[in-house]
Chains A and B, each alone.
Chain A
């Protein structure tokens, strides 16, 4: 195994949990692995992919994440890899579908798994390993529940119950149970590792206004060693702050969010990886899937919606093991934004009533919802997320032979989900206001105990800021102005 690791990936040793997980898979056991962010989860299916015969299918919830994983494999020279998702054009899809057996790694989304022809082709493959990434999305108790994930279990059965690996970074006991039940892998091996990352110091700063927040952050940035990421909950704030930082001379700074073109997204990611950028102002929607080892800080300008995603995001810091800082800035009332977001993601009672009324007038719409998408969206004022949720519910209900009046049960479902989300936000808030050790609190939340003594633990335990600061000021990099020299540098030197 070590030989393969060295040969294919160029690593000399495994990180915590990887060897155990991979051994379990190679001995033919279904496996659930919970490895903290930043410890190389994807290696757990990449390496077995090379040691087992047949294809590896990876179900992944986010399109951007999928592309990052494809890139990672391309980077080690793997050409037999494809992201089978809605980004593909009709022709590309057609071509890919007919040569599916030529791919070693097939990444796909839960939505795609609804396609009959795709499942048909998949079932003809020799499947070495079936991987569910971000498996916590299966659980209603998970912080990122996606109804589409519920059907993965069914798909797995249709594919002849292949060897399965469920991966997640954070899962409470309830979530773990849901994952196993939904995938019908109750007898799987389980590898659970602590979510704690002792080399990341945890800081919360309470401020009184958004102006003060900006000032406090600038103060930190003046002292802190980069590179780092600042997370925002809106694209606008990410862009505006990037502008401010550029003006104030914080070296090379860029905003990174879903509104960028594919090409610019690539360039900015790569510039960051190559050390050409110092700070990225990002929205949380985009995981910086590309491994950058030497991130020194992660700042949250807005509070995340739950501790789980907070951990994922700060987990991108300090992968090299070096001292790193996670700073969360909180102004009273900041929780209003996540509460609104949570509400907006779900269907309100008013929307459901409007839908019920509409379907009573147009009953055939229930059985061919897609054909009425724009109409339904307009009458109930649905966002894209809202519609996807409705569609997913509708698919299931129609398959079960239920009529539109089953929408009444959706009301209860929505209320439950809203309560889950509100509770998560509340947990996050309590953590922010906590007067006990922040690390201990996080571990408690995941039913763990703090067993080691961590230096520079958190703002409550006390931190020696000198461990994280440097005095040298960041300068913008000069650009080469001689085009021939630059061209030569790029191409032949």
Chain B
């Protein structure tokens, strides 16, 4: 039996999550929903690469997909909206491993992927036009901030316009040629320049006869590959490394609001003080702290959970095979939900 690419992705997530969460937690994961529940699940179930891979997947589309899989008996409902693979489903998935190509990492890169593409596509177009000394063209990206970024970059780079094109070409072909398993054509075909306008994603998948979702993931794979490689050896790519530099330093793993909370924590403010200072609910600040614990390796949670409770919660989460909070809560009556989430968050990345 043939299943679609998206179905493969969903089934893979389902093998990890099982019936411990509802099937919609997979939708939230693929959408990249920024709630502490979803972020935590991504870590607990080792599905961080899947985070934010399909930000535009709609609830009704998702429902259609899982209903179909239920109908053809690949998955079966265990209890209220939580599902398991059937034997038939197991057989299908056994033949194939993780459906994602090697470099995709949604959690790590989702925040810069779109911007990286916007910058790259505009840079290539503008450099190509400069090379031809043509000023009459319509920029392919409309966002003002990308234009500001490019303007200051061009001021900063020391190459002459004809050398600039050569340098950029050199960097791109070296980077993309290093590992051709990424299939560079899938990205290059989207680029626009003096003589040619790039294709839309729909057009590429049409021309290359690829499933649209599968193409989208392979496109992300190339972008994530590029970000990763450039991060690793910045000096090799003097122009491309500019694509991952950031003007407001938010190229960090935290959302903006959480970074602010983090700053205030480092200044020694308590949760209540921060809530009052920022005019936010206490629960929101607690969500921030869970996010910080997930992302900042050396963040210590001792201030918020006693050593005793930490041990109790860790033990309970191991004994109870399920990771549902309410079962842990039942076996550690002395801990509240915030403390449990925080401990799980800290353990999730270990």
List the one stretch of B41-49, B131-139, B276-284 in contact with chain A: B131-139
Taken together as a complex, chains A and B put the C-alpha atoms of A481 and B195 apart, in Å, by 17
Q: Which of A88, A262, A487, A490 has the most CB of B within 10 A?
A: A490
Contact with A along B30-52 (1 / 0, CB 8 A): 00000000000000000000000
Cβ 8 A contact of B144, one of A76, A92, A274, A482: A92
List the one stretch of A67-75, A419-427, A429-437 in contact with chain B: A67-75
Question: If the complex has contacts A276-B197, A490-B193, are A266 and B177 also in contact, measured as CB distance less than 8 A?
Answer: no
Is the Cβ of A487 less than 8 Å from the Cβ of B169?
Answer: yes
- Nearest chain A CB to B78 CB, angstrom units: 37
Is the Cβ of A254 less than 8 Å from the Cβ of B138?
Answer: no
Give the chain B neighbours of A476 by CB distance below 8 A. 207
Is the Cβ of A266 less than 8 Å from the Cβ of B188?
Answer: no
Say yes or no for A2: interface residue by CB 8 A criterion: no
Is the Cβ of A77 less than 8 Å from the Cβ of B136?
Answer: yes
Is the Cβ of B173 less than 8 Å from the Cβ of A487?
Answer: yes
Contact with A along B163-203 (1 / 0, CB 8 A): 00110110011001100000011001101111111111011
Is the Cβ of A483 less than 8 Å from the Cβ of B184?
Answer: yes
Give the chain B neighbours of A483 by CB distance below 8 A. 176, 184-185, 188-189
Is the Cβ of B138 less than 8 Å from the Cβ of A266?
Answer: yes
Contact with B along A252-279 (1 / 0, CB 8 A): 0010000000111011111101101000
Taken together as a complex, chains A and B put the C-alpha atoms of A254 and B198 apart, in Å, by 14
Contact with A along B129-153 (1 / 0, CB 8 A): 0010001111111101100000000
Q: Is the interface of A mostly helix, strand, loop or mixed?
A: helix
Taken together as a complex, chains A and B put the C-alpha atoms of A143 and B140 apart, in Å, by 33
Taken together as a complex, chains A and B put the C-alpha atoms of A330 and B142 apart, in Å, by 38
Taken together as a complex, chains A and B put the C-alpha atoms of A71 and B203 apart, in Å, by 24
Say yes or no for A479: interface residue by CB 8 A criterion: yes
Cβ 8 A contact of A491, one of B127, B144, B199, B208: B127
A425-467 at interface with B (beta carbon < 8 Å):
none
Cβ 8 A contact of A267, one of B165, B185, B197: B197
Question: If the complex has contacts A254-B203, A271-B197, A492-B165, are A487 and B172 also in contact, measured as CB distance less than 8 A?
Answer: yes
Is the Cβ of A481 less than 8 Å from the Cβ of B197?
Answer: no
Taken together as a complex, chains A and B put the C-alpha atoms of A256 and B189 apart, in Å, by 20
Is the Cβ of B188 less than 8 Å from the Cβ of A486?
Answer: yes
Range class of the B interface residue count? 35 or more
Say yes or no for A332: interface residue by CB 8 A criterion: no
Question: If the complex has contacts A262-B142, A264-B200, A491-B168, are A484 and B195 also in contact, measured as CB distance less than 8 A?
Answer: no
Say yes or no for A290: interface residue by CB 8 A criterion: yes
Closest partner residue, chain A, to B168 (CB atom) = A491
Is the Cβ of A492 less than 8 Å from the Cβ of B138?
Answer: no
Say yes or no for A173: interface residue by CB 8 A criterion: no
Say yes or no for A488: interface residue by CB 8 A criterion: yes
Is the Cβ of B131 less than 8 Å from the Cβ of A267?
Answer: no
Is the Cβ of B124 less than 8 Å from the Cβ of A270?
Answer: no
Closest partner residue, chain B, to A490 (CB atom) = B193
Give the chain B neighbours of A493 by CB distance below 8 A. 195
Say yes or no for B105: interface residue by CB 8 A criterion: no
Is the Cβ of A490 less than 8 Å from the Cβ of B131?
Answer: no
Taken together as a complex, chains A and B put the C-alpha atoms of A76 and B137 apart, in Å, by 8
Is the Cβ of A492 less than 8 Å from the Cβ of B197?
Answer: no
Say yes or no for B317: interface residue by CB 8 A criterion: no
Is the Cβ of A484 less than 8 Å from the Cβ of B177?
Answer: yes
Say yes or no for B128: interface residue by CB 8 A criterion: yes
Say yes or no for A489: interface residue by CB 8 A criterion: yes
Cβ 8 A contact of B185, one of A270, A481, A489: A481
Is the Cβ of B195 less than 8 Å from the Cβ of A486?
Answer: no
Taken together as a complex, chains A and B put the C-alpha atoms of A75 and B176 apart, in Å, by 31
Give the chain A neighbours of B199 by CB distance below 8 A. 267, 271, 479
Contact with A along B51-83 (1 / 0, CB 8 A): 000000000000000000000000000000000
Give the chain A neighbours of B172 by CB distance below 8 A. 487, 491
Taken together as a complex, chains A and B put the C-alpha atoms of A124 and B188 apart, in Å, by 48
Is the Cβ of B198 less than 8 Å from the Cβ of A479?
Answer: no
Give the chain A neighbours of B200 by CB distance below 8 A. 254, 263-264, 267-268
Taken together as a complex, chains A and B put the C-alpha atoms of A274 and B195 apart, in Å, by 8
Question: If the complex has contacts A483-B188, A484-B173, A492-B166, are A267 and B142 also in contact, measured as CB distance less than 8 A?
Answer: no
Is the Cβ of A492 less than 8 Å from the Cβ of B131?
Answer: yes
- Nearest chain B CB to A113 CB, angstrom units: 21
Taken together as a complex, chains A and B put the C-alpha atoms of A479 and B168 apart, in Å, by 23
15 cross-chain CB contacts under 8 A? A246-B206, A263-B142, A266-B141, A267-B192, A270-B140, A479-B199, A481-B185, A482-B185, A483-B189, A486-B185, A488-B169, A490-B195, A491-B131, A492-B131, A492-B165
9 smallest CB-CB distances across A and B, nearest first, come from: A490-B193, A483-B185, A483-B184, A77-B135, A270-B197, A483-B188, A491-B169, A71-B138, A271-B197
Beyond A76-B136, A479-B207, 20 additional contacts (C-beta under 8 Å) are: A71-B139, A92-B144, A263-B200, A266-B140, A267-B197, A274-B197, A276-B196, A476-B207, A481-B185, A483-B189, A484-B177, A484-B184, A487-B184, A488-B169, A489-B195, A489-B196, A490-B124, A490-B195, A491-B193, A493-B195
Measured CB to CB, the residues of B under 8 A from A are 124, 127-128, 131, 135-142, 144-145, 165-166, 168-169, 172-173, 176-177, 184-185, 188-189, 191-200, 202-203, 206-208
Measured CB to CB, the residues of A under 8 A from B are 10, 67, 71, 74-77, 88, 92, 246, 254, 262-264, 266-271, 273-274, 276, 290, 476, 479-484, 486-493
